[in-house]
Structure 1
Amino acid sequence: MTETSAAPARTCSYTVRDTPIGPLLLAATDEGLVEVVFHARGRAMERALARLTAALGARPVRTDDPAASPHPALAVAADELSRYFAGELRAFTVDLDWTLSGGFNEKVLRELTASVPFGATAGYQDLADRVGEPGGARAVGAAMGSNPLPVVVPCHRVVESSGGIGGFGGGLETKRVLLALEGVLPEPLF
């Protein structure tokens, strides 16, 4: 009888960056940015680290200086997010590691990234149609909710056809701030 060997553990580094929408956990592997987590403190951060540990086979290592990380994608992501929030960046170029996504969800997220630029929005059904799934608006909503790379993979740009902004894993206020930053909504009054 032969034993099946588990996939080898993958190295992952992470950092937490303060942003206008709160602290973001950024995690990267040798392949690229693998996860962005909103509200990166306490339980949210521990859940994210546990998810990464389970998916990659090793606990991520924290680095407070992303430039010193053995994963260049972490430094690129931190720099690009800083420039995005300063209004200086409209398109992310950081390499992405899609390990935490797959199948239909990954297909939809890749289509979103490729076809809905800064300052634009798309409807859930519109995205479903683009990936060849007419009537798949709810499945697209689930894909947006599963996005392991929010902001960089801009699920905040997906809105309801009725004119509502729809849901958002980072909270509706965070979605409003991101859409305002991109000029889609007026700046929040407070």
Structure 2
Amino acid sequence: MFHVKHFDVIVVGGGHAGCEAAAAAARLGAKIALITLRQADLGTMSCNPAIGGLGKGHLVREVDALDGIMGTAADQAGIQFRLLNRKKGPAVQGPRAQTDRDLYRSAIQKLISAQENLQVIFGEAVDLIGSETKVNGVRLRDNSEITATSVVLTTGTFLRGVIHIGDVSRPGGRMGDDPSVKLAQRIDQFGLKLARL
């Protein structure tokens, strides 16, 4: 269990976006709660273990320029570094690192645990505390409540997630994990539409 129950910012979700958001806010001096399901899930790469590349390489460099942790973790976990489109001009080239998933997760966990002002809380956020105009906390599955000035949702594929394998579809946030249905239902009550890319 955790001691502090009020924070400046609560970040729900411990994937790429959640870890970056929590670390960035903590670097600015805010008191942060990063909520993720389990210790083993913090920093998990859910899909492609590549960092950078043609489509998202510019984003990785922008995050790195703002002192983000993704590039540092990728450097520690990289197993192949390559410049894509090397034979073409610089405008269409893109550096990409293929990373070891376990090493990347471990690197992110070390960076997060070393970050001052950041407390990781393990549990499932199932409800938002507040009104339709202001959210000021979350309720976890164990009914504990955590309050904050701001709440950032970075749940990725977990909100009412569905996994499709061939002709078979089943609820899931990632292989082996349940989707976040209760939190999605609460967001519906705010009149916010959930959609898939």
TM-score (norm 1): 0.29
User: Which has the higher Rg, Structure 1 or Structure 2?
Assistant: 2
Q: Which has the higher contact order (CA 8 A, sep 6+)?
A: 2
Which one has a larger percent strand, Structure 1 or Structure 2? 2
- Give the number of the structure whose residues are more often helix, by fraction: 1
